[in-house]
Amino acid sequence: MILVTGGAGFIGGNFVLDWLAGSNEPVINLDKLTYAGNLDTLASLKDVPRHLFVRGDICDRELVARLLAEHKPRAVINFAAESHVDRSIHGPGEFIQTNVVGTFNLLEAVRGYWNELSGEAKQTFRFLHVSTDEVYGTLSPDDAPFAETHPYEPNSPYSASKAASDHLVRAWHHTYGLPVLTTNCSNNYGPYHFPEKLIPLMILNALAGKLLPIYGDGQQVRDWLYVKDHCAAIRRVLEAGTPGETYNVGGWNEKPNLEVIHTICTILDELKPRADGKRYASQITFVQDRSGHDRRYAIDARKLERELGWKPAETFDSGIRKTVAWYLDNQDWVRNVTSGAYRDWVATQYGA
Ligand code: NAD
Ligand code: DAU
């Protein structure tokens, strides 16, 4: 079996669902269920015995050690993190705790477990750390996309904490020989995306008749990847990646934020036109920019393609259409995750 951390979040949840749909291998899913973790995402697994959900913290080394000793997984995949840049600006403490201290504790528990393995189990064990392109900093319009050799220049508390975790993972390989793999991925989008992030926030605000808040001039560029393509890349790296290596994952889909919002508005105009006949784009508004806002991210994913044969299956056009349709079809999930604490966050970040 495999142990996944953060499997009630956006990418971890998609990963667990896809894994169990395509394989008989059981999954232990360790998640603290912070505001970003939603058991509703895993509702279809309620009666699936191959999915064992454990509510717990990756900072709890004893708990992790106990789970490893009891279930003897062949791999650990670490999705657990605080992941939202805006929240890291308001309060960086949790980011240091989970992303840095948590990764350290996880690595130590895994190292203790791996040291006790022998023979083939030791040889084939893998620790896969899921990270981000934000560790590389920001690009100018004419810069080449981030390759794996790009220096680390993180700019936000979030990206700095992820960079720190990547360094720990690297050092645990270099010093202790732990068979680690690291993936650095660009912006994901798709089903079960928590609506504090750009794409789901815009879809839901549009449908609710609210303003669509664009930071600054809206010309910041992100490289979008459909979440199922990211999950496929992780499976491939787990299967065939070389321990100690890092792999960049991206969709070759660079888009300025404003263009992304206009695309969403156009799809909504078609699938669910406003009752008053106006266009959703009329809800767009420009608001104060994010502090330290990175201007451009772009990923050079050629290493993953060349060495492991991975390529994204979705274009941005096909993926965004599926995503908008998913949110229209899954209003119950949306209602459940946007109650309570979510409203407090929206009030903090965007005011009344
Ligand atoms: P998310 O915020 O949606 O989910 C994070 C999950 O981790 C939640 O279920 C949460 O409950 C859990 N968690 C948080 N702290 C924990 C702790 N201390 N112990 C156990 N569980 C804990 O995040 P996401 O967008 O799914 O991102 C998953 C991973 O992928 C993160 O490491 C993130 O840095 C990375 N990543 C995300 C993106 C993206 O576009 N979302 C892109 C590249 C990389
Ligand atoms: O690049 C990978 C990263 O992508 C991941 O590591 C992070 O976990 C993930 O959250 C994401 O970070 P971003 O900061 O790029 O994503 P976010 O959805 O918060 O913002 C995308 C862009 O949209 C960014 O330029 C900020 C802008 N934005 C965002 C929000 C929430 C707005 O203009 N308005 C908004 O209300």
Q: Is 294 labeled as catalytic in the residue annotation?
A: no
All domains of the chain in start order, with CATH? 2-189+224-251+296-312 (3.40.50.720)
Residue 270 annotated in active site: no
- Going by alpha carbons, the residue nearest to atom 6 of ligand 2 is 132
Cross-strand partners of 129: 78, 182
Provide the token pair at 323: 């995503």
The tens digit of pLDDT for each residue in 296-327 reads 999 999 999 999 999 999 999 999 999 999 99
134 catalytically annotated = yes
H runs (alpha helix) in 117-220: 119-124, 157-176, 198-207
- Residue 102 CA, ligand 1 centroid: distance in Å: 12
- Amino acid found at 253: N
pLDDT single digits (tens) 26-75: 999 999 999 999 999 999 999 999 999 999 999 999 999 999 999 999 99
Annotated catalytic residue, options 82, 134, 166, 294: 134
Please give the distance, rounded to the nearest whole angstrom, from the Cα atom of residue 280 to the centre of ligand 2. 21
Q: Which two tokens stand for residue 59?
A: 């900072």
Q: Which of 113, 158, 297, 327 is catalytic?
A: 158
Please check the confidence at residue 268 and state whether its pLDDT lies above 90: yes
For the chain, give the number of residues.
352
Q: Is 314 in a helix, a strand, or coil?
A: coil
User: Helices (H), strands (E): how many in the chain?
Assistant: 14, 12
Mean pLDDT of 17-33: 97
Going from the Cα of 292 to the center of ligand 2, the distance in angstroms, rounded, reads 12
The two beta strands, 221-226 and 187-189, are parallel
- pTM for the structure as a whole: 0.98
Question: Active-site residue among 31, 57, 82, 133?
Answer: 133
Q: How many other C-beta atoms can be found within 10 angstroms of the C-beta atom of residue 260?
A: 23
What pLDDT is stored for residue 343 in this prediction?
A: 80
Tens digits of residue pLDDT in 236-255: 999 999 999 999 999 999 99
- Helix, strand, coil in percent for the chain, rounding step 5: 50, 15, 35
| Cα–ligand 1 centroid distance for 80 (angstroms) | 5
Cα angle 330, 321, 194; round to 5 = 45
Confidence of residue 352 (pLDDT cuts 50, 70, 90): low
Is there a contact between 125 and 179 (Cβ–Cβ < 8 Å)?
yes
- Closest Cα partner for 15 from 184, 200, 234, 182? 234
183 Cβ below 6 A of ligand 2:
no
**Dist. CA 31–CA 29, nearest whole Å:** 6
Q: Which residues line ligand 1 (CB under 6 A)?
A: 5-6, 8-12, 31-34, 36-37, 57-59, 79-81, 83, 98, 102, 130, 132, 162, 185, 187-188, 194
The one-letter amino acid at 307:
E
